[in-house]
Structure 1
Amino acid sequence: MITQTVVHLHGSPSEPDSDGHPEAWFTKNFQQTGPSFVKEIYHYSNRERATALWYHDHTLGITRLNVYAGLAGLYLIRDKEEKSLPLPKGKYEIPLIVQDKSFNPDGSLFYPAQPEDPSPGLPYPSIVPLFLGNTIAVNGKVWPFLKVEPRKYRFRLLNASNTRTYKFQLSDLSSFFLIGTDGGLLKRPIKVQSLDVSPAERIDIIIDFSRFEGKKVVLQNGIDLDNPTGEIMEFQVTKRLPCPDKSKIPCKLSNIDFIPVEKVKKVRRLTLNDSEDEFGRLMLLLDNKEWDDPVTETPLLNSVEIWELVNLTVGIHPIHIHLVNFQVLDRHDLNGNLLDPLPADFGLKDTVLVAGEQTVRIIMKFEPYSGDYVWHCHRLEHEDHDMMRPLKIIPSSLNKHKR
């Protein structure tokens, strides 16, 4: 079996030849390469603000399979500002990569080869519209436990699941603090009791276990409490603190330069749609266009745009735009009524949860590179069939009418 792969450093402002374009795939020892393949060695500047990026496969049509098989990991960037803060450090800062999995009796991974009720004439194997595993794995272990001291811990949490969105909460519904999102630290911490996190989103949180001394507390998925997948992992809190906890949660975390709306050069209204393919399978689309349709999103380099993401479906779509970080301006229902923001909306984002029958407006500056990128839904079964579109950043020296 020949496996194609290409790495994408998710959230990084990478040059186009190092971005992991879906058609820049390669096989073992580069014996075969895709039509957009340029080079074997990618370059990442690592100059962005402190944040938790992640890397994963991005091969056209099989991203869901490669990521599910394990081609994903966290990639932490540090800077002087973050290092100066009295946040939990060292062994008290822990990455948590959450994925749902299913297993065969022999322990190998199970992934469906067809929808549950395939129509006559459906190819085998065939893509499925979603995948929800029946177990939850954290850092590769199913329903693990972690022994912690009765003190503050910092968790860098990534939802690396194919489809599943989580509502992360503690089993006693006590509060914890959100201090960062996809694009790094917030301006100030936000006290929360739960956080909705869709695929590809990252959260930077602090949990104070001092109130649980000698007890156990479970990290839950509040969306699914009636099922085994309602539990994520267990924290087992020791009775004694071996040394004083000198870490703190500062009132001010970081400086974020949000983009003034006055700098906007273009507003794009883009719909999220459902359709069917020639076999009657569910097919999700961006602005009613397929991957191979001509590029339509062509912003100028260094220009500022607002994108209105209008979800005409009933399901959640985490929308990821390559190259940029963006800000969430607001959320509305389809009747134009203003909705409450999510806590993560107050930070810099590269992936935004767009709930069913909802419009989310985001603002972004297209920099620092021009070239060929993509934007897509990060429910991987949707991305692979065919909820991904090309994004071409035009050098500002070219004719503006090409926008």
Structure 2
Amino acid sequence: MRLQKFVDRLPIMDTLKPRRKDEKSTYYEVELKEVRQKLHRDLRPTRLWGYNGSFPGPTIEAEEGENIQVKWMNKLPDRHILPIDRSIHNVAHQPEVRTVTHLHGSVTEPESDGYPEAWFTRDFRQVGPAFEKEVYEYPNIQRATTLWYHDHAMGITRLNVYAGLVGMYLIRGKREKAMDLPTGKYEVPLVITDRSFEEDGSLSYPTQPDDAGENLPNPSIVPAFNGDTILVNGKVWPYQEVEPRKYRFRILNASNTRTYRLSLDSGQPIYQIGSDGGLLSKTIKQEELAIAPAERMDVIIDFSKHKDSRIVLKNDLGPDAAPEDETDEVMEWRVNLPLSGKDDSRIPAYLSTIPSLRKNNIRTIRNLSLSGSEDEYGRPLLLLDGRMWDDPITEKPGLGDTEIWAIRNLTNFPHPIHIHLVQFQVIDRQPFDLELYNEDGRLLFTGPPVAPEQNELGWKDTISAPSGQITRVIAKFEPFTGDYVWHCHILEHEDYDMMRPFTVRRPKE
């Protein structure tokens, strides 16, 4: 289905209002509801699931150190709107519609982290084996940054997120407020997703892989999915009218599989000031932004020299892109509004201090692999360190331990790896002979370690691990103990079976 670009105005998500607030905490209630939402001028309303009945959900804002409580209330129907593969993770014996919300990038106790088996059904009628509490607590004991919340239910995360269960969460801080960055209506969240649609406007998602055999379950999970249409803030290829001045954009890649390579067709730079874990140490002038699923980038774009221009946010599809692929564009800015006042905002050169974790006492170096195999149906089965979700836990850092995780990608494509609880730092990447390793297990490096990109030098919770390379990250596991997870954030991979639990141990355990 071909839809005309840049005919719908960019929506801005509402900021969630608390039910009550006192000195100890701020309390919110959020209902997960089915909704029909118009995503494009020429599309009939699409049946979706949304937090508080909107896609994306409302933005939650918190101050550093503010204790936030959220009751996530499942009000969804008992039947799913997308095809469920019942052959994985005992899904056949579980309720069809289950949800559990994960605040991605949050430093949170395990009971509020959105553990995949802590799911619950409508009105908490049924709960999963790891379910512990109805009201989640987010202490926000971390730097001001851009987080996001999304569903994390075991075996159906890809479907629940694709149905619309995503939203943005901002932590504010005093330092950030004192830096004269663009604020108010000049600070804009951009939640980028991709979707495909049927002629009637409904979501289109494959029931089986393209090369499905006769014995494959139907429906069956697919190894990856890229939609043919790009949405921003829940609108297909929208436009935004802006003034000739500086704007701050909080960019989130909330797509299931797709990585974006973003640039401006005007040729002007994008100034990146922050990443997953908040402000970088210095502003980076970028010609292109590569952003994998679940990554966030905090940027400033200066429209002051582009009055009466139209500027398109482009997505580089690479040299092998099909001519008919229209996902090479994301949205359009129209610099046609009059300047409402003097622009006193600035693009600081220096932003923050980021102490290196490499100065810590390194307790453990873990050599971990990303590998591929096949299941009994011949489907791709992607694993972390060769283990399934249900295998015994092998990663057990102690509380306060600093560890290096060396992630060896033995597959033919990159994986965005997310570790819950912690913000980590990227040390380096080193290429090796992948073909030789897969032949006989010999590790032959083909080049020296390569330092991370400049915009990867801040705090991260999700990092792209390229094929045929070892990606090394360092993290300090604190301040909570208990069970968490690490996984690939390509959601089709996460659901089957590229996710593993890890446990942060109490001292002397």
Same fold (TM over 0.5): yes
1:181 equivalenced with 2:292 (yes/no): no
The residue aligned with 1:351 is 462
Matches within 5 A, 1:91-106: 91-106=185-200
1:36 equivalenced with 2:130 (yes/no): yes
Quote the Cα distance in structure 2 between the aligned partners of 1:135 and 1:352.
25
SS at match of 1:223: coil
Query: Would the aligned equivalents of 2:397 and 2:503 in 1 still touch at CA under 8 Å?
Result: yes
- One-letter amino acid of the structure 2 residue matched with residue 357 of structure 1: G
1:238 equivalenced with 2:349 (yes/no): no
Quote the Cα distance in structure 2 between the aligned partners of 1:340 and 1:288.
27
Quote the Cα distance in structure 2 between the aligned partners of 1:288 and 1:92.
47
The residue aligned with 1:46 is 140
The residue aligned with 1:331 is 429
The residue aligned with 1:297 is 395
Quote the Cα distance in structure 2 between the aligned partners of 1:23 and 1:308.
27
Query: Would the aligned equivalents of 1:166 and 1:222 in 2 still touch at CA under 8 Å?
Result: yes
Cα deviations across residues 247-295 of structure 1 (Å, max 9, x unaligned)? 0011211222221344211100111111111100011111111111110
Cα deviations across residues 283-318 of structure 1 (Å, max 9, x unaligned)? 111111111111011000100000001111111100
1:259 equivalenced with 2:353 (yes/no): no
The residue aligned with 1:26 is 120
Matches within 5 A, 1:36-185: 36-185=130-279
The residue aligned with 1:388 is 499
Query: Would the aligned equivalents of 1:195 and 1:343 in 2 still touch at CA under 8 Å?
Result: no
**Aligned with 1:211 (options 298, 305, 315):** 305
SS at match of 1:75: strand
- One-letter amino acid of the structure 2 residue matched with residue 347 of structure 1: G
Quote the Cα distance in structure 2 between the aligned partners of 1:48 and 1:306.
21
Query: Would the aligned equivalents of 1:163 and 1:379 in 2 still touch at CA under 8 Å?
Result: yes
Quote the Cα distance in structure 1 between the aligned partners of 2:302 and 2:172.
23
Segments of structure 1 that go 5 or more residues without pairing to the other structure are 399-403
SS at match of 1:210: coil
**Aligned with 2:490 (options 371, 379, 393):** 379
Query: Would the aligned equivalents of 1:113 and 1:126 in 2 still touch at CA under 8 Å?
Result: yes
Count of aligned residue pairs for this structure pair: 398
The residue aligned with 1:342 is 453
Quote the Cα distance in structure 1 between the aligned partners of 2:499 and 2:265.
37
- One-letter amino acid of the structure 1 residue matched with residue 123 of structure 2: N
Query: Would the aligned equivalents of 2:358 and 2:474 in 1 still touch at CA under 8 Å?
Result: no
Quote the Cα distance in structure 2 between the aligned partners of 1:358 and 1:244.
48
Cα deviations across residues 194-248 of structure 1 (Å, max 9, x unaligned)? 0111000000000101122111111011135752001000011126423111100
Cα deviations across residues 294-343 of structure 1 (Å, max 9, x unaligned)? 10110001000000011111111000000000000111111243335223
TM superposition score normalised by structure 1: 0.97
**Structure 1 residue runs of 4 or more that deviate by more than 4 Å after TM superposition:** none
Quote the Cα distance in structure 2 between the aligned partners of 1:352 and 1:260.
18
1:194 equivalenced with 2:288 (yes/no): yes
- One-letter amino acid of the structure 2 residue matched with residue 188 of structure 1: K
The residue aligned with 1:369 is 480
Residues 248-257 or 76-85, more deviating: 248-257
Query: Would the aligned equivalents of 2:310 and 2:335 in 1 still touch at CA under 8 Å?
Result: yes
Quote the Cα distance in structure 1 between the aligned partners of 2:344 and 2:364.
48
Cα deviations across residues 68-98 of structure 1 (Å, max 9, x unaligned)? 1111111000011111111000000000000
Residues 141-150 or 254-263, more deviating: 254-263
* Sequence identity (%): 55
Quote the Cα distance in structure 2 between the aligned partners of 1:388 and 1:344.
26
- One-letter amino acid of the structure 1 residue matched with residue 238 of structure 2: P
Query: Would the aligned equivalents of 2:427 and 2:451 in 1 still touch at CA under 8 Å?
Result: no
Quote the Cα distance in structure 2 between the aligned partners of 1:374 and 1:349.
16
Quote the Cα distance in structure 2 between the aligned partners of 1:236 and 1:170.
13
Segments of structure 2 that go 5 or more residues without pairing to the other structure are 1-78, 80-95, 433-444
Query: Would the aligned equivalents of 2:242 and 2:337 in 1 still touch at CA under 8 Å?
Result: no
Cα deviations across residues 174-200 of structure 1 (Å, max 9, x unaligned)? 211110000000111011100111000
**Aligned with 1:269 (options 361, 364, 367):** 367
SS at match of 2:203: coil
Residues 291-300 or 217-226, more deviating: 217-226
Higher relative contact order, chain-length normalized (CA < 8 Å, sep 6+): 1
Residues 262-271 or 127-136, more deviating: 262-271
SS at match of 2:334: strand
Quote the Cα distance in structure 2 between the aligned partners of 1:98 and 1:49.
24
CA RMSD of aligned residues (A): 1.2
